[in-house]
Structure 1
Amino acid sequence: MIKVVAIVGPTAVGKSALGLKLAQKFNGEIISGDSMQIYKKLDIGTAKDTPEELQAVPHHLVDICDASERYTVKDFQQKARQIITDLSKEQKLPLVVGGTGFYLSSLVNNLNLGGKSDSDPSLRKQLMTIEQAGGIDQLQKMLQTIDPKAFEKIDIDNSRRLIRAIEVMKTTGKSITEQNNGEKWADFYLVGLTDERQKLYGRINQRVDMMAQNGLIDEAKYVYDHRDEFPQASKGIGYKELYPYFDGTADLETCLSEIKKNSRHFAKRQFTYFRNQMDVDWYNISDDNNYQEIIEKNIVNFMEG
């Protein structure tokens, strides 16, 4: 069976750095499991690897879409599975690296993402009208009422996922979290990185400051100027929080603080999702200075098993 290693965990914990080292050691290639790194020209706010890092190891599913394009979980699942299959034939180790929980779950669990039977275009249009009118709070309350399980497990700040979860529940009467798994098609070893909360939060804050120094404001202004054309990307953490600054209704420091706060909340939700939804082998990067060596040994055992 195809062997795949996935590196998961909260934002800013060091997934990308570990992925690069493991890819170089095990003749691997990296498949991004991030829902924002697919977009061209959005580099800083999405925390893409540097151009040098992208050249050091082959990367897949990075810079594959214009920000105006719609990209779904099903798109990711299909593309990632094909890449993994091809890499396996070339005797290379596929390394899926990213923190978008539902993306990883769709791949690892081979989720049946449905079709016409759980779609209602007219309902979706109504929900999108609510969202476009600034009613994400209303969508959140709606989902919490009809599907509290999904409310706890999906990214409720992502209006597209809110709308999809409501649509599935209202159309089928079943939670989007209860989608059937398909047959097992690959053997996954899930490496989870975590850290003490205050240390992780400190790294998140530092990362945001570095992003601001490296051009985040200009990148966010580009998204702001095209926000009607970029329906998914315009709602990303790191961009939307700067809109009040561009509107002249908030100062820059306040907006950067909001990015830090939302990133910390997102990191907490990421950890909760991976811990509760997937079979992850967790490594606390502060508890063991040799965690990378241990991970490498466990990957060898996984590959030989």
Structure 2
Amino acid sequence: MVEAESEKISIVVICGPTGTGKTSLALSLVDRFPLEIISADSRQVYRSMDIGTAKATLQEQAVAPHHMIDLIDPDQEFSVAEFIDQSRPLLADISARKKIPCVVGGTGLYIRALLNGLADLPSANGELRKQLLETEEKGGRGTLFSQLKAVDPESATLIHSNNIVRIVRALEVFYLSGQKMSALKAEHGFAEQPYRVLKLAPDFTRSQLYARINDRTEQMLSDGLVDEVRALVERYSLDLKALQTLGYREVVRFLKAEIGAEQMLADIQKYTRQYAKRQLTWFRKEEDIIWVDSSTKSDIVVQSIENFLLE
């Protein structure tokens, strides 16, 4: 039975690249709308990783309820499937209390999967993954990518030849299901539409975005990012998987005396700009996003939400 549009939960999404002020935009709307914020950031689920993930401060969290942050310790695993399993009941609960769920974040896959569901792919198989990695080791770099090009060329065009994690996953799906991962995803097509959604994204020119990223990186270091990473290293280790992510890995290199402070700053800025560029490419493909200059067109944001809620 198809759910009537009026019966679906209404959700506001504020998405876009890192450094665009998504949290600030969401908080600026709290006086106008009864929003509760659901973070869609793959790293903000970790406790003790606050500065480097640009997590909402305690003062910001006091402005409006925040969900899906500080869920697990940095040495624990968290998947997109777990994000969906924990977030969807929140959407229902917030809506039932006559509040508006506002999904805020830059992890595009999390947002897409939350709103539309995931393709029904086989679960991970540790033994098969081990065999595949051994094949790569014995055959040399590029062996598995060549396999992928042979069995699923469509997926191969979407995966970088050096991204061994995604290559192994695509091959794993093929060998376990007998079907191409690209075909399974196309069949699913993220077609499930259980919600009414308004997507907004702060819009900046490329030069403006890069300048914001450069400034924010300096602010993160000023706010104590190095001390945050040092505390994580002391509690866990330099090999902690979460410390191999953007912003943290560069500080780890600094703590290991592999680079100096100036190089650390420059590297974080450079790699964050590159990441933002990839995010921008992802979100520009989402045709239903309304791009707004939140600094000069806040009235458009408010009007868009009001019209959406009245529909």
Q: Same fold (TM over 0.5)?
A: yes
Q: Report the counterpart of residue 252 of structure 1 in structure 2.
A: 261
Unaligned runs of 5+ in 2: 1-7
Structure 1: tracts of 5 or more residues without a match? none
- Are positions 1:299 and 2:308 aligned together? no
AA partner of residue 61 (structure 1): M
Which of 246, 252, 267 is 2:276 aligned to? 267
> What secondary structure, in the 3-state scheme, does the structure 2 residue paired with 1:97 have?
strand
- For each residue in 1:209-261, what CA deviation from the matched residue of structure 2 results, as whole angstroms up to 9, or x when unmatched? 01111110111223445346732x22221101222222222112112211111
Q: Return the offset for 1:195.
A: 0.4
Q: Is the 8 A contact 1:30 1:58 kept in 2?
A: yes
* 8 Å Cα contact 1:39-1:62 kept in structure 2: yes
Preserved CA contact (<8 Å) 1:30 1:57? yes
Q: Shift in Å at residue 280 of structure 1?
A: 1.1
The alpha-carbon deviation at position 122 of structure 1 amounts to: 2.0
Quick one: structure 1 residues 126 and 67, their matched pair in 2 at CA, closer, same or farther if it must change by over 3 Å? farther
Aligned-partner Cα distance in 2 for 1:189–1:156:
35
Amino acid at match of 1:54: Q
**Aligned partners of 2:53 and 2:143: how far apart in 1?**
25
**CA separation of 1:210 and 1:161: change in aligned 2, threshold 3 A:** farther
**Is 1:178–2:186 an aligned residue pair?**
yes
Deviation per residue, 1:183-231 (Å, 9 max, x gap): 3211111112220111110110010101111110111223445346732
Give the deviation of 1:155 after TM superposition: 9.5
Aligned residue for 2:17? 10
Q: State the match for 1:81 in structure 2.
A: 88
Asked if 2 retains the 8 angstrom alpha-carbon contact of 1:150 and 1:177, the reply is no
Tell me which amino acid in the other structure corresponds to 1:10: P
TM-score, normalization by structure 2: 0.83
Aligned CA distance change for structure 1 residues 154 and 219 (closer, same or farther; 3 Å): farther
Q: Distance in 1 between matches of 2:60 and 2:160?
A: 29
**AA paired with 1:93?**
I
Structure 1 228/59 Cα, relative in aligned 2: closer, same or farther at 3 Å?
Answer: same
Distance 1:292 1:44, change over 3 A: same
Q: Is the 8 A contact 1:140 1:151 kept in 2?
A: no
- The 8 Å contact of residues 111 and 182 in structure 1, kept in 2 or not, is answered as no
Q: Deviations over 1:48-107 (max 9, x none)?
A: 111111111100001111111110000111111110011111110000000001000101
Query: 5 Å matches for 1:1-305?
Result: 1-116=8-123, 119-126=124-131, 145=149, 163-169=168-174, 171=176, 172-175=179-182, 178=186, 180=188, 181=190, 183-225=192-234, 226-227=236-237, 230-231=240-241, 233-277=242-286, 279-285=288-294, 289=296, 291-305=297-311
Task: Note the aligned Cα RMSD (angstroms).
Answer: 3.1
Identity level (%): 35
- Give the letter aligned to residue 269 of structure 1: R
Paired AA for residue 178 in structure 1: A
TM-score by length of 1: 0.85
Distance 1:193 1:168, change over 3 A: farther
Does the CA-based 8 Å contact 2:253-2:259 persist in structure 1?
yes
8 A contact 2:230–2:255 mirrored in 1: yes
Report the CA distance shift for 1:265/1:165 in structure 2 as closer, same or farther (over 3 A).
farther
SS of residue matched to 1:25: coil
Q: Secondary structure at the residue paired with 1:43?
A: coil
**Structure whose CA Rg is larger:** 2
Cα 1:250–1:230 shift into 2, 3 Å: closer
C-alpha distance in 2, partners of 1:169/1:197? 38
What is the deviation of 1:145?
A: 4.7
Q: Does the CA contact (< 8 Å) of 1:223 and 1:239 recur in 2?
A: no
Quote the Cα distance in structure 1 between the aligned partners of 2:287 and 2:168: 24
